[in-house]
Amino acid sequence: MQNIGLILYPGFQVLGLSMCATFEVANIFAQRPVYEITLLSETGGLIDTSAGFGVNTAAFDEQRFDTLLVLGDNVVRPVSAGLVDYLRESSQATRRIGSICTGSAALAEAGLLDGRRVTTHWSHARDLQKAYPKTMVNEDRIFINDGPIWTAAGMTACVDLSLALVENDLGVEMTRQISKHLVVYHRRAGGQSQFSVMQDLDPKSDRIQVALTYARQHLKADLSVENLAYVANMSPRQFSRVFLAETGKSPAKAVEQLRVESARLMMEAGDHSVDSVATEIGFGDQERMRRAFIRAFGQPPQVFRRAHRN
């Protein structure tokens, strides 16, 4: 049996406990006790959640765990010396150590993320990178596995991480069954973006908004700077300058991100081949779409296609 320790502290984000259901259902489908979960804290006893109610925990001791996961919080709190010491000591005998959301700060404080590729909630990612420059923070990933270290974005990403851990232990077929039972998507790929590109594009002027709306509705068309500038009733040079100032992206980069997001959604929502999606969304060919997917998600489109088929 694998012992999983979930490390809590006062005010931790209660949604993190939802990952317990993944391990619980894994035991059900395996028809044997594969996982045993222990809620841990530095002091033990009742620990308040972010929602205000408390959960009972066991204090740090000499017990060893196969997997240790530090849960996150709605804010970044100072990491206690006791937690840092516990993580450093446990890392020598623990197969996997991970974090959800701001729990990554505890791993970083213990020096476990030095030289590692990691992620956290997008709103805290830059602060984590600044505070711990030896880490390599990617703010736009659902989860990242780097050796024995597993880090995940915030909120519902804890479920994706728990499914990934089970898949690592018991295989993809088991996680398919578990995700279906939990009524969730069959584990979003770790390289998937944490949020929609449209949430990141918020131009101030109507002309740039009109051009973006046109692009979203005509992804298969020629969305060159010249054509988008014509839609916005601006010169290409002026359009490029204003677009970059208002969105933080060049028109070409924004169009690529719109196409990538639409292509991903098509493959997840229907029985579309990679080639047909590339044509329909305006990439023209599979190779251009493959390069765009790797830039955006760190994985080729075939990964999302296989996930849909499974």
Cα–Cα distance for residue pair 44/144, rounded to 1 Å: 29
3-class DSSP assignment, residue 111: coil
Pairing state between β 45-48 and 54-59: antiparallel
pLDDT tens track for 179-230: 889 988 655 555 445 545 545 667 778 889 889 888 888 998 999 999 999 9
Q: Which two tokens stand for residue 288?
A: 């251009």
Identify the pLDDT of residue 184. Answer: 81
Question: What CATH number belongs to 197-309?
Answer: 1.10.10.60
184 phi-psi bin (left φ>0, alpha ψ -120 to 50, beta other): beta
Output the pTM of the full model.
0.67
Q: Which residue has the higher pLDDT, 213 or 136?
A: 136
With a cut of 70, say whether residue 73 has pLDDT above it. yes
What is the residue type of 275?
Answer: D
Confidence of residue 27 (pLDDT cuts 50, 70, 90): very high
Question: What is each CA distance from 188 to 126, 192, 288, 291, 308, in whole angstroms?
Answer: 23, 7, 23, 20, 10
pLDDT (0 to 100) of residue 96: 97
- 2-182 belongs to CATH 3.40.50.300: no
Residue 222 DSSP SS3: coil
- Report pLDDT digits (tens) over 251-301: 999 999 899 888 887 776 666 788 888 888 899 888 999 898 888 877 788
Q: Which two tokens stand for residue 27?
A: 């035991």
Q: Where are the domains of the chain?
A: 2-182, 197-309
Q: What is the pLDDT of residue 28?
A: 97
15 touches 156 (CB < 8 A): yes
- Among 67, 87, 71, smallest CA distance to 23 is for 67
Q: Give yes or no for a contact between 47 and 9, defined as CB atoms under 8 angstroms apart.
A: yes
Helix (H) or strand (E) segment spanning residue 152: strand 149-152
Please answer whether residues 190 and 253 qualify as being in contact, where contact means their C-beta atoms are separated by less than 8 angstroms: no
